[in-house]
Structure 1
Amino acid sequence: MRQLLIIIALLFLSGAQLMAQFNTGRFGNTGGGGGGTSKMQRDTSRHEHELDTLTLTYRYLGEPTDFTIDSSVADFQLNYLKVPATYATLGNSGSAARNLIFTPLMKPGFDAGFHSYDIYSNSHQNARFYHTTRPYSELSYLVGGKQEQIIGITHTQNRTERFNFAFDYRKVNAPGFFRTQNSNHDTYRLTAHYQSKNKRANTYLSFYYNKINGGENGGIRADSILDDPSYKQRRNVPVFLGNSVSRSYGFFGTSSPVKSQYQETGLLLQQQYDWGRGDSIHVNDTTDYYKFDPVFRVQYTFNYQNSNYQFIDAVPDTGFYRMHYDFAPSADTLQAKHVWKMISNDLSLIQFPIRGNLGHFIKAGARFESITGTFLDANINFSNLALHGEYRNKTRNKLWDFSAKGEFYVLGQNRGDYSVAGMLQRHLNDFLGDMRLTFTNVNREPSYVYKYFNSTRDTWYNTELTKENITQLQFATESRKLKYNLAVNYFLFNNYTYFKDYYHSDQYKSLFNLLQIVFSKKFSLEPFAWYADIAFQQVHGNAPVNVPAFWTRHRFAFEKRLYKNLNLMTGVEVRYNTDYYADDYSPITGQFIYQDSVKVKYNFPDLAAFANFRIKSFSAYVRAENLNTFFAKNNFAAPLYPYNNFSFRVGLRWWFIN
């Protein structure tokens, strides 16, 4: 397989001109949940139209802001793995994950409730619609311990000035250090944008397919086993599920006796037609440019989603299920399955009050949803009708950005669900940066997995759940000159829904709140740099929510540009969070569950050494991770779920202009 990748890379190199230069940039995540998360970027690919460079930008659906590709090598987690450092997995790359910075689901309407693998999956919300002056390709490859491999391929091009398409593929294959822990994910995405010659009509297409396979081992039998010298080879440590079954590992197919198997397909087609004013702008004696400014738009959106969530245990361990689920499965395969199909049709009317400013608009619309659920022993059908509206004013001078939007379900299964949100952002100056205030309030039906769940062994209903209500207030500020991001979040919860054990849900009826402070800053004393990421969280009240009071990551690095084109960053990374009652995990339901009996403690901070560099359009990440296991016991992500042993990883990333 490695030889094949080398051949592919050589073929790309032989038929492409390399990018001349990328400036260093970085993402800043200001934390928070729901609608309060902000991603701020630096332009790292925009150049004048030189022969060996390109102009490449992208947008998200409904967002008038242009974004650019980030070529920084500063953050391996975010820039390469696509998993923020604040996320904790069950120990292995690609396994079920949750954000240590608590992020409640703030979305009204129907939700199936299976989100433990969302961080690896594509969606319409994160689909990128590109515009590029030249065809652009990106290839990435990572190899790690225990046969871990990750492949990423991206390609986008404008076939004409009016039509662009993009394709993404990503594979994560990690057998893991412990038994039955392997993950094997394949995710695909296709996007396209077409604009008519008179610029009145636009069509957007977004398609994704997520195939998620996560091995489930139920955790190790006891944490004391890790101190036993006879289990120095972690693959021999006994686990609760799939312990006695032989396994085979392969890059394109890995058999696992116990696994969560998710398949998600999404197709979105959005069509727009505009009325407005067009002008021909005379550029020179031979060139005229047609400029069209919409005043009124009709927009239709078709959305189809098909999701299949399964848990399969081919050889059930009766002791584990008796202990946690209060039933003993038979010798046959234990299976749980939820299949959901949704078709929605949305019609919106949009007005642009100021000519030439697409960031200033008024939008009103309605959406009809038809939803079908298929289970092992039953089916369900229902529909929803929702009204929505939005006012957005992103001023031309880019000093102010204001939005107010709302959504209300007037008919159907989710009748009474709503969301209201407001945001005010001000650019102070280039030195002080931006300041933002955000308000969000959501009233929503609990996700369906909290109301009903069935398997081949047992079925339960919870008919006593009422609507959740969550309010978020956020103050955020960032400055590229001062190199910092700060977000202060205040959440207010009512009727918070959670899993009280491995198989049953519950609701906390009392009001409680959560305070979050998330801060990141780069301190520089050339050629040395200190990247500090710090988060503080505090829950007020006796709510069934456990979060680490303090989480932090620090990267101490030597940074320097050498020999004109070599951007080097090498140093050490330290991660730590305070002791807390970390959520347990239920394999059958695929849910993280509340527990207050086992406190997860760090024996020693997670420690890694790294050497990252970029030469023009080629980047490499070399990392020695979990160095702390040489002199301390493995740290735990959740009760009986230890992190991996020492691992050596090499990640490569190429950009090409074809």
Structure 2
Amino acid sequence: MRSFILICCLLIGVQCAHAQIGQRFGNMGGGGGSTMQRDTGSHAHEPDTITISYRLLGEPTDYKLDSSVADFTASFLRIPASYAFLGNNGSPARNLLFTPFMKPGFDAGYHTFDVYGFNHQNARIYTTTKPYSELQYMIGSQQEQQIGVLHTQNRTDRFNFGFEYNKKYAPGFFRSQATNHDIYRITGRYNSRDKRYNAYLSYFFNKFINGENGGLRVADSVLDNPDYSQRKTVDVNLGNYTATTSGLFSTTMPVKNTNKQSGFMLVQQYDWGKGDTIHVNDTTDYYKFDPVFRVQYTFKMDNNGLEYLDGQPDTFYYANKYRWAFSGDTVRAKHEWRNISNDVSLIQFPIRGNQGHFLSAGARFESIRGTFLDANISFSNLALHGEYRNKTRNQKWDLSAKGEFYFAGQNTGDYNVSGMLSRYLNETLGNVHLFFSNTNREASYIYKYFSSSYDSWYNSTLGKENITQLQFAANNKKLKYNLTVNYYLMENYTYFQNYYTSAQAPALFNLLQVIFSKHFRYRHYNWYADFAFQQVHGDGRINVPTIWTRHRLTYENKIFNNLNLVAGIEGKYNTSYYADDYSPVVGQFVYQTTQRVKYYAPDLAAFVHFRIKSLSAFIRGENLNTFFATNNFAGPAYPYNNFTFRLGLRWWFIN
């Protein structure tokens, strides 16, 4: 309750600071392509009109903010619906639609929380005609809470800054299961008066705190026993006899993993080209500059750390899972990495006025240092990279060819080459997309070395992974469907074969993946259908469900001119398979072939979503299937939560 009162005070304060909270947001009902502006009618100008867009670093495409309320997962949680997490919101997650890591060079290997956090790849560099703020708040069962804050503004037409903060807190239904995450991002953009110099800033800090309970200690059938309807009474493997004290801003967990990630990147560009002064009217001139040649310097510093701590360890669990000659003392593991890189690129723009058509070449020097409980390590890398991109001004063709090669240092021989061709055919046939990528890379460091207070293990036998991806994709706005076909070919795929030992797949194998989405509409009734088919050929050490599907049946209508209503039910289901287990000390998912995980019934949710002017609301009842079936499981011994009620609110403000 105190947390809720604090949030209310925060919202009131922001409202007072923004006098124009009554703005009408026209043209906001669609998806990512909607434009945020007020319907001004016949007036020449309205003070609350706004145009806002953003770009991702290195991409020439402008994106619009998504104000849709049809999909809670995409527009509010911003997590793909195909992700499975270990029962509780914010816990370690993986994509049921297999996506291998295909980035060459050094990688620490901590990716189980990536879906929740910020990074340089998803940094949004905004452009807005007026200061824009956004607030999100969600409250759910078991005192689950989530806060989101966004503010961006152009101080002048040459400088923009943005700030984002997300708080994710979920105590969970089972013991020692709480999550408490803090996620920050700052972005900035500056260009000089003559538009020759440009600078972009990206900074993020992710702090993920995850309570580890090691899964259920007892048989799954205990979940059907009415004596254990209060899930806190069910025995778990870790933190079973130590109380968890948790709150929105302070949480004490008996066993936990703390993952901290931070990154700072500064991109500076200087252009040579041609400029023109465009006469708008008698009092206004606009200076337009088209670059022909660019020198770009990028400085980047990233930090990554994982710490596992169990102050009152369970002797049997560690002896059984990790084969330790266990004495009962505190279990601790800590890894920290720092990567500093300097990159210089030369970029040529062949066609004046089209910055989506360019040729670039550059070199990057990386310095990497790691700190562990029992050792330190440092090394460096030197890489060359280049790219040709041609996104035509008529938006019909998009062609890309790029490559990156590490020719000196620890990761010598790592490379990635990729090519992409996209063509918009017409309104009836939509857009088709072809993509190819091949990556040769050293296995992530977590597979090569790990140190804890009880043991340190090494694996010096790992060869370089080689992964090829072929993709065909088609999307059609008129017929409302998306189709993606992926074919992966993998050699030396690296995985954890148990709780502490890594290995590589013994032979070449492949994976076929077909993903199809279709929107059916009849008057105000809608059916959003998502299907995925996956099949592994060969001795592949990955486990995926053959079929994954999600369906949303909704009633959608616009009432009283400004109430956009979406009400319906949602169901998710996947076929049974050997779902990955999870190793708490290492913080990684583990390949296993001993226990199949199946859905006893589809994950069901009922919801009412609506938007009135600048306010969106999401009212949901989730895990309805637990009223008539056993809890579904994300992995061996990791059940999903019981019935959960969620109320989410989202406001937009213009000043």
Whether TM exceeds 0.5 here: the answer is: yes
State the match for 1:286 in structure 2: 283
Matched, 1:487 2:489: no
Q: 1:448-597 to 2 correspondence within 5 Å?
A: 448-597=445-594
Matched, 1:17 2:13: no
Change (3 A) 1:153 1:268: same
Cα distance in 1 between the residues matched to 2:20 and 2:550: 38
Once the 2 structures are TM-superposed, how far is the Cα of residue 50 of structure 1 from its aligned partner? Answer: 3.9
Q: 1:254-653 to 2 correspondence within 5 Å?
A: 254-653=251-650
Please say if residues 360 and 392 of structure 1, whose CA atoms lie closer than 8 Å, have aligned partners that are also in contact.
Answer: yes
Deviates further, 283-292 or 363-372: 283-292
Please say if residues 216 and 241 of structure 1, whose CA atoms lie closer than 8 Å, have aligned partners that are also in contact.
Answer: yes
How many residues in Structure 1 have an aligned counterpart in Structure 2?
A: 645
Question: Secondary structure of 1:213's match?
Answer: strand
Question: Secondary structure of 2:300's match?
Answer: strand
Cα distance in 2 between the residues matched to 1:308 and 1:569: 42
Once the 2 structures are TM-superposed, how far is the Cα of residue 329 of structure 1 from its aligned partner? Answer: 3.5
Deviates further, 579-588 or 9-18: 9-18
Please say if residues 35 and 51 of structure 2, whose CA atoms lie closer than 8 Å, have aligned partners that are also in contact.
Answer: no
Once the 2 structures are TM-superposed, how far is the Cα of residue 433 of structure 1 from its aligned partner? Answer: 1.8
Once the 2 structures are TM-superposed, how far is the Cα of residue 314 of structure 1 from its aligned partner? Answer: 1.1
- 1:110-161 Cα deviation digits (max 9, x unpaired): 0000111111111111100000000000000000010100000000000011
Deviates further, 215-224 or 129-138: 215-224
Cα distance in 2 between the residues matched to 1:460 and 1:22: 59
AA paired with 2:113?
A: Y
- 1:174-226 Cα deviation digits (max 9, x unpaired): 00000000000000000000000000000111111111101110001121221
Cα distance in 2 between the residues matched to 1:72 and 1:159: 28
AA paired with 2:139?
A: V
AA paired with 2:314?
A: D
Please say if residues 624 and 647 of structure 1, whose CA atoms lie closer than 8 Å, have aligned partners that are also in contact.
Answer: yes
Cα distance in 1 between the residues matched to 2:24 and 2:563: 12
Question: Secondary structure of 1:17's match?
Answer: coil
State the match for 1:76 in structure 2: 72
- 1:372-406 Cα deviation digits (max 9, x unpaired): 01100001010000000000000011110000000
AA paired with 2:510?
A: N
AA paired with 1:7?
A: C
Change (3 A) 1:75 1:518: same
**Equivalent residue in structure 2 for 1:42, among 33, 56, 67:** 33
- 1:549-596 Cα deviation digits (max 9, x unpaired): 000000001000000000000010011000000000000111111000
- 1:392-436 Cα deviation digits (max 9, x unpaired): 000011110000000000000000000000000001113322110
Once the 2 structures are TM-superposed, how far is the Cα of residue 43 of structure 1 from its aligned partner? Answer: 2.5
Change (3 A) 1:62 1:136: same
Question: Secondary structure of 1:44's match?
Answer: coil
* TM-score, with length taken from structure 2: 0.97
Cα distance in 2 between the residues matched to 1:327 and 1:26: 56
Cα distance in 2 between the residues matched to 1:16 and 1:656: 9
Cα distance in 2 between the residues matched to 1:17 and 1:533: 40
Q: Which runs of 5+ in 2 are unaligned?
A: none
- 1:499-524 Cα deviation digits (max 9, x unpaired): 00000000113111000011111100
Cα distance in 2 between the residues matched to 1:196 and 1:437: 38
Q: What CA RMSD, in Å, does the superposition of the two structures yield over aligned residues? A: 1.1
Q: Which runs of 5+ in 1 are unaligned?
A: 28-40
State the match for 1:102 in structure 2: 98
**Equivalent residue in structure 1 for 2:194, among 193, 198, 201:** 198
Once the 2 structures are TM-superposed, how far is the Cα of residue 83 of structure 1 from its aligned partner? Answer: 1.1
Cα distance in 2 between the residues matched to 1:46 and 1:105: 39
State the match for 1:210 in structure 2: 206
* TM-score, with length taken from structure 1: 0.97
Cα distance in 1 between the residues matched to 2:481 and 2:97: 18
Change (3 A) 1:576 1:26: farther
Once the 2 structures are TM-superposed, how far is the Cα of residue 454 of structure 1 from its aligned partner? Answer: 1.0
- 1:294-350 Cα deviation digits (max 9, x unpaired): 000000000001111111111111111111100144333211111001100000000
Please say if residues 22 and 71 of structure 1, whose CA atoms lie closer than 8 Å, have aligned partners that are also in contact.
Answer: no
State the match for 2:7 in structure 1: 5
Please say if residues 506 and 539 of structure 2, whose CA atoms lie closer than 8 Å, have aligned partners that are also in contact.
Answer: no
Matched, 1:125 2:127: no
Cα distance in 1 between the residues matched to 2:405 and 2:433: 25
Please say if residues 132 and 654 of structure 2, whose CA atoms lie closer than 8 Å, have aligned partners that are also in contact.
Answer: yes
Cα distance in 2 between the residues matched to 1:143 and 1:440: 42
State the match for 1:143 in structure 2: 139
